[in-house]
Amino acid sequence: MFGNLKTQPADKILQLMGQFKADPRTDKIDLGVGVYKDATGLTPVMRAVKAAERQLWETETTKTYTGLAGDPDFNAALSSLVLGDALAADRLSSVATPGGTGAVRQAFELVRMASPEARVWVSDPTWPNHLSILKYLGLPVEPYRYFDGDTRAVDFGAMMADLAVTKPGDVVLLHGCCHNPTGANLTLPEWAEVAALLEKTGAIPMIDIAYQGFGDGLDADAAGMRLIVERLPEVLIAASCSKNFGIYRERTGALMALSDPAKREVTQGTLAFLNRQNYSFPPDHGARLVTMILTDPALRADWQAELEAVRLGMLALREQLATELRTLSGSDRFGFLAQHRGMFSRLGASPEQVERLKMEHGIYMVGDSRLNIAGLNTKTVPVLARAILAVGI
């Protein structure tokens, strides 16, 4: 049987990580991997997470299963964080998942079960794993234009033109905030136009929100998504706690589905069924930490303060890099770096220029020129700026 297996395509980011580790240069810079790093290059455990873990270690009395949908308190707490005032309990179904990727996978499984012929519209570009999972599941995929390679901003007119031909039952995948890989995001008025268009075409929005709190703040980052929830009858949301709680390896996320109240019970049952078919019970440790933090005023305040410091630190690095490049180049063509939000920006370099950055300067980024702003610090920003210009970007 195993003789029939074929070599699978290697994950380019994981390949890049291996190359970086093998590089003996001591001044190398890793801007490829998609995790937050502080100024020392560490992905730290947040203070509130450490405190919650200490409490949990003292008070937890069992490691038995929770439920197919996960702990109800976790689903309630995370749904409240994500949806805010848009939360309508009579419309909401929710299950815990192994990270945001698990939520994305379960959402696509739900789409395939409910409407196997549905086309899933994805931004060009998008997170590569979106496309990989869709291909594996055999769901039809349609790209919609999103990123203007010249301005490095959202090409909103082209996006709306492409989505105008969506049909009832189609699914439109949107990034809730901090678009990966470009860093270019919709404005709130643009979100309103998208909502109006989807109301007209009957397509169903699916929102992947993996970086809430990394862009303009917890509520601002969710504002567009909440507008969609309030205006559309059916919405899917894949939420991740990996980044904003810093619990990457705990695999903590949730899939939420907003539906007609009359369909809520069957929708909730279907989500639980899909969990059972995939991994039965979702992991609980990270979910329990998140629940403790969100429901304890002191822990929540400390978590939000640290998250805000992370966000402001990334914005400061963006401003510093844009300013450094403006000074060195004598132009504002890199101003988009200060306008983007989240960990990522697409630089607009060619694959050859990206390769030169790696070989000549020890600077590693993904081949499409996505760079992780959080991989920088105040000392390496000038190094990157000089290298960017040296390779002709």
379 is catalytic: no
Give the torsion sign (CA, 121, 124, 130, 131): positive
Cβ neighbours of residue 52 closer than 8 Å, sequence gap 6 or more: 289, 292, 293, 296, 299
Distance (Å, whole) CA 235 – CA 19: 40
50 is catalytic: no
Q: Which of 107, 118, 127, 238 is catalytic?
A: 127
User: What letter represents residue 226's amino acid?
Assistant: R
User: What letter represents residue 66's amino acid?
Assistant: T
Placement of tokens 């992991």 in the chain: 283
Placement of tokens 């689903």 in the chain: 75
Distance (Å, whole) CA 364 – CA 32: 6
| Spatial CA neighbour of 35 closest among 50, 45, 23, 47 | 45
73 is catalytic: no
174 Cα distance to chain centroid: 10
Placement of tokens 């001044």 in the chain: 27
Q: Which of 30, 155, 170, 208 is catalytic?
A: 208
Q: Which of 210, 239, 322, 338 is catalytic?
A: 210
HSE-up of 269 (CA within 13 Å, CB side)?
5
For β-strands 344-346 and 370-372, DSSP reports them as antiparallel
Contact predicate 362/16, CB 8 Å: no
Q: Which of 121, 148, 239, 243 is catalytic?
A: 243
For β-strands 29-30 and 363-364, DSSP reports them as parallel
121 is catalytic: no
- Rounded to the nearest 10°, the torsion over CA 154, 155, 161, 166 is -30
Contact predicate 257/274, CB 8 Å: no
Cβ neighbours of residue 365 closer than 8 Å, sequence gap 6 or more: 16, 31, 32, 347, 354, 357, 358, 371, 372
Chain length of the chain = 393
Distance (Å, whole) CA 257 – CA 268: 8
Active site residue ranges: 127, 208, 210, 243
